[in-house]
Structure 1
């Protein structure tokens, strides 16, 4: 084992500031026995892509980036998710690259070639972001090994060994590289796992999770993206997750929500959420100790096919507005997502009306939030309830313009002060109840009676 570790060290670049030879050896020996003995391919090239999706990634900017690295004799490959997507016949949303060049070497190269570099935050982890032709930005990351990890962050050292970089990645399906000639490099059998729709960690799953506990959430997200069944998890992986879930308490809510939201936008969202709760993940995400699993089941049964917003799944687990507040304090939702959660919990119940759509029209017309948000919130409530007929009606409904303004109230003699709000609300309710048929002139005629009504009420209240 010591000899193997020493061979690995020869392929690693250590920062000038850092470690003695003995310290380097000790750092490498923190790898688990499973990782050190991990089986890998002798020849990592598993196939050559020639698909239209592969050819489609070669924009002029990608070609320019590649030519720069060729010019300076540095190897560069496409890394991670784009490789996985291409193997699935998908067009990747974005491209990330890995290279044998160090960050300093990339900076010197880009500076010499007048290539603008942006967003320097990733440099300490080996990432340089280059803006090519002032049109496309690409993240290029030096091959690296995570040396010191605390479950959230990693201290890295650089390497020229592609296998070592693949070994530190989270899932086998995310550990592949793609050469510009179409060669797919797969050291740890991610290609086979992808074909089997299997989600597995690279090497020692417990070690991978302890390096960054957010990988628990990433496991579930990629399960929803890749797997062909909602409940085909390997028991050993779920047990490792359950044994290590406490590490999530030190992960920021923003990072958790970023992964969780993506998972809830994928396949099997409700089923995966249940599995996560069974594995004790829920309480570290801010869910109540007794989440409403029964309501989640009902929502899944009647509405999962309606492309639910992630908040619908979470709202189903909550019983009141206070629990929404608690969840928001942990996950730090955007204002839109937070208000949608409040709206769902408050308005998901049955509404009795002579005309079924009327209560939802009132929610839009009487809203104190942006009207376009209220419209989307009502649509989500109707999806949550599985009321497809009412949703279809609501989608066809054109929001009418309320014909009365504050100036009209003033011109009609409404005295300045607190009477404006109640009077305009009363007129609007009458207008809505009459299905928006009353004209401006008809509504203005009502104002004097309302002035008298609200004026008398004021006098009574004073007495």
Structure 2
């Protein structure tokens, strides 16, 4: 069931033209499954106090796509102060109220947290942050959101409220900014990367962009230079593991954005396209794909300065850049996994096996990857104590014998036991 509620035609404060509100009724099992005892209590409390409460943003998009959202955000006509009074009077605990200045109150009901935000409009923006003003106008709040597919609301009775054709865009797998793409981007330049990220989630084809959108991105790309590396990397990671990742990274270079987000100016896009094709079916880590752009370990260091990588991410990138050419399947050995297992045994760090798995994804070695996932690192059966027991007492001789025995053990595919190995000891 759906309808269009006609409204006055005009230009909103943010330059958004509209003339109708689309509504429909949602009665899916995914929607009904949200109604826990906690949510039922929250719904009743807001209704009793005559405040409107609706599901907002990404959760609406997920529900309309037939998915149960992992996180559900709520929007309301109640101000933060009104919510605090309401929750206090009902004896409901509030937690983590750092978001209160932006209108967000988190209430805890029946061991569940519910994040509820007052409807807002942006009074002033600088491309990174916004000063907000509270409102009771649902359309004004929808206007300030980035993409049409993220600007919808869903009432707790199942009624969808869609001011900017978000439902139609979602059905058609289109990603569009609300109103003027340039204006939305200038409000927060990170929206450039959010556009790419949602394109990878929603669009069916890699090149189905509106030319005006790409022009707005190109013209405003330098604004990304003022966005923190942590925020940029957070979006890049999601782009790299989404659909169309190779196309979107190539587009980032074509639109001359790489210089503003910490990617190397001479990134190897062809290598990235090849690696993404190899790895996409095997759930690669974001850095496994991104490392393909990098031509030297020095570029890992430069990227880390801008993006503030975790220790694991930086180490993973350095490993791939250093070993992607040298550590490969041996053409003359029937056991193609041997170079990789030998490397793991020789480099006895805890995460070496997981790094080698990422390397096999990078190289497109699906069969070896499957084998390595089922392989456990064997324990070398000989110790220095064992060598002393058979008469080797010099520290230098113990070291030399251990190295020799380890090589013999590797050649046996780790099958020789302690006694067999000790028979090769040179006193």
Name the SS of the counterpart of 1:436 in structure 2: coil
2:309 is aligned to 333
Structure 1 gaps of 5+ residues are 1-32, 450-463
1:176, distance to aligned residue in structure 2 (A): 0.3
- Corresponding position: 1:72 with 2:52: no
- Corresponding position: 1:366 with 2:316: no
Structure 2 gaps of 5+ residues are 1-10
Instruction: Quote the RMSD (CA, aligned, Å).
Output: 2.3
Name the SS of the counterpart of 2:378 in structure 1: coil
- Partner Cα distance (2:91, 2:307) in 1: 41
The within-5 A match list for 1:55-94 is 55-94=32-71
1:137 is aligned to 113
Name the SS of the counterpart of 2:18 in structure 1: coil
1:417, distance to aligned residue in structure 2 (A): 7.1
8 Å contact kept, 1:35–1:204: no
- Corresponding position: 1:206 with 2:206: no
TM-score normalized by the length of structure 1: 0.83
Match of 2:230 among 250, 254, 259: 254
Residues 126-172 of structure 1 deviation map (CA, whole Å, 9 limit, x = unaligned): 11111222x21121101011112111111111011111000000001
- Corresponding position: 1:430 with 2:403: no
The within-5 A match list for 1:258-297 is 258-297=234-273
2:8 is aligned to none
2:7 is aligned to none
1:262, distance to aligned residue in structure 2 (A): 1.2
- Corresponding position: 1:49 with 2:26: yes
2:203 is aligned to 227
- Partner Cα distance (2:410, 2:158) in 1: 63
1:287, distance to aligned residue in structure 2 (A): 1.2
1:224, distance to aligned residue in structure 2 (A): 0.6
Count of residues in correspondence between the two structures:
413
- Corresponding position: 1:393 with 2:371: yes
Structure richer in helix, relative to its length: 1
Closer/same/farther in 2, CA of residues 413 and 258 from structure 1, 3 Å limit? farther
- Partner Cα distance (1:415, 1:270) in 2: 58
Structure richer in strand, relative to its length: 2
- Partner Cα distance (1:287, 1:423) in 2: 47
1:393, distance to aligned residue in structure 2 (A): 2.6
8 Å contact kept, 1:96–1:140: yes
Comparing 399-408 and 229-238, the one that deviates more: 399-408
- Corresponding position: 1:38 with 2:25: no
- Partner Cα distance (1:415, 1:397) in 2: 35
- Partner Cα distance (1:300, 1:405) in 2: 43
- Partner Cα distance (1:294, 1:441) in 2: 52
